[in-house]
Structure 1
Amino acid sequence: MFKPPSHINKALNEQYDVIDKANTKVAELWKDEIIFSFGWWGATMLVIVPWIVWIFYRKKDSTHRLLLGGIWAMFIATWLDYIGVAMGLWRYNVKTMPVIPDFIAWDFSLMPVTIMFFIQVKPTIKPVYKAIFFSLLTSFGAEPFFKWLGFFDYPSWHYIASFPFYIAIYMVASKLVNGSKFNSLHS
């Protein structure tokens, strides 16, 4: 059994205490200032509305294939957002709930639903063209707009740096949706 040396264990426990106290302060701030604010309503709608629209307008016989691409987008966007926030590259200013990461509205709803719609609309257009359009729209349209609204800040990031990441996320999602074969699990 691995047991870290006592000085490491003590240092880690001190850091966990700092994190616990910070989370308590954030929860109090959320309860007193954030919940039911303009930003909170906006972020909450960004979590709910895209999925409602998707449920009604998705290509029904491709639901599972589209969800595979959407789940990929959720996973990678959340991972990259976590790294960016942890490194201080950007900060989110609105929390939908005090106990979940701030970027859930974007990574669990807006990003995957938008990608799934782009994949299913005009399927004959080459994925790379759609990826570039999606990246342009997101990097230079959505990001500046939501930054202007005050949803997040960029202490050490610029929109153009997001551009290749959005292309890569879209291309992998498209490949998963269009290249996967869904066969029955029954023999």
Structure 2
Amino acid sequence: MSLALQVIDHNVNQTTELIHEKMQIWIHYELFTWRWWLGVFFSIVPWAVWYVLTRRNSMRDRLLFVGFMVSLIAVALDVLGDQYGLWHYRFNVVPIIPTYFPWDLTLMPITVMFFLQITPNANPLLKSVVFALASSLIGEPVFYWMDIYNPIHWKFAYSIPIQIAIFLIAYYFCKTRSKFAPYE
């Protein structure tokens, strides 16, 4: 076996051991804590609220498409930030996913979808700035205050241009996807 294969296999074995250790930590210190229950709440309830409040026409399909895109972008960026040691999450709903499931797959996409639905004709740049400021300077600090989010080498303000870009991408796809009925 080549040296490269040995190094790769050794690294995989170390990673597997760390994942087993992380599972034990999650079972003993995270599972069923108030922060874990809060994560479960944030994973389910916003979707139920969104479902009840959203219009039942082609807009729902368009918004779900955009929400899925926002989720993909959020998860990808969150994994990168976590893997590069810029931040990490202390209390995960799902133990081996390095991102905060409720933030990436619920809170971010639903907030974007609500912004797009509630004010469809408002200036998208203004909406993106409001969204970015709220998520970066209110949402992130609240999760930091609750000891869920730990920005190791990250400042809340760094997220603002990223959040603006995510919203503008979502807005673009919401407005331009031709397979959906016209945007109202």
Task: Give the TM-score taking structure 2 as reference length.
Answer: 0.94
2:127 maps to what in 1? 130
Q: Residues 183, 176 of structure 1: CA spacing in aligned structure 2 closer, same or farther, 3 A cutoff?
A: closer
> Which of 63, 80, 96 is equivalent to 2:77?
80
Cα deviations by residue, 1:55-92 (Å, 9 ceiling, x for unpaired): 11112211111011111111111111111001110010
User: 2:42 touches 2:106 (CA, 8 Å); kept in 1?
Assistant: yes
User: 1:131 touches 1:171 (CA, 8 Å); kept in 2?
Assistant: yes
**1:52 paired to 2:48:** yes
1:177 maps to what in 2? 174
Distance 1:40 1:136 in 2: 26
Q: Which segments of 5 or more consecutive residues in structure 2 lack a partner in the other structure?
A: none
User: 1:94 touches 1:102 (CA, 8 Å); kept in 2?
Assistant: no
> Which of 117, 132, 136 is equivalent to 2:114?
117
Distance 2:30 2:180 in 1: 46
Q: Residues 183, 69 of structure 1: CA spacing in aligned structure 2 closer, same or farther, 3 A cutoff?
A: closer
**1:18 paired to 2:14:** yes
1:165 maps to what in 2? 162
Report runs of 4+ in structure 1 exceeding 2 Å deviation: 99-102
How far did 1:183 drift? 5.7
Amino acid of the structure 2 residue aligned with 1:132:
V
CA RMSD between the two structures: 1.4
Task: Give the TM-score taking structure 1 as reference length.
Answer: 0.92
Amino acid of the structure 2 residue aligned with 1:11:
V
How far did 1:48 drift? 0.8
**Aligned residue pairs, count:** 180
> Which of 145, 149, 154 is equivalent to 1:148?
145
How far did 1:29 drift? 1.1
Distance 1:148 1:98 in 2: 21
Q: Which segments of 5 or more consecutive residues in structure 1 lack a partner in the other structure?
A: none
Percent of aligned positions with the same letter in both sequences? 30
User: 2:136 touches 2:160 (CA, 8 Å); kept in 1?
Assistant: yes
Q: Residues 179, 152 of structure 1: CA spacing in aligned structure 2 closer, same or farther, 3 A cutoff?
A: same
User: 1:96 touches 1:102 (CA, 8 Å); kept in 2?
Assistant: no
Distance 1:183 1:146 in 2: 36
User: 1:40 touches 1:94 (CA, 8 Å); kept in 2?
Assistant: yes
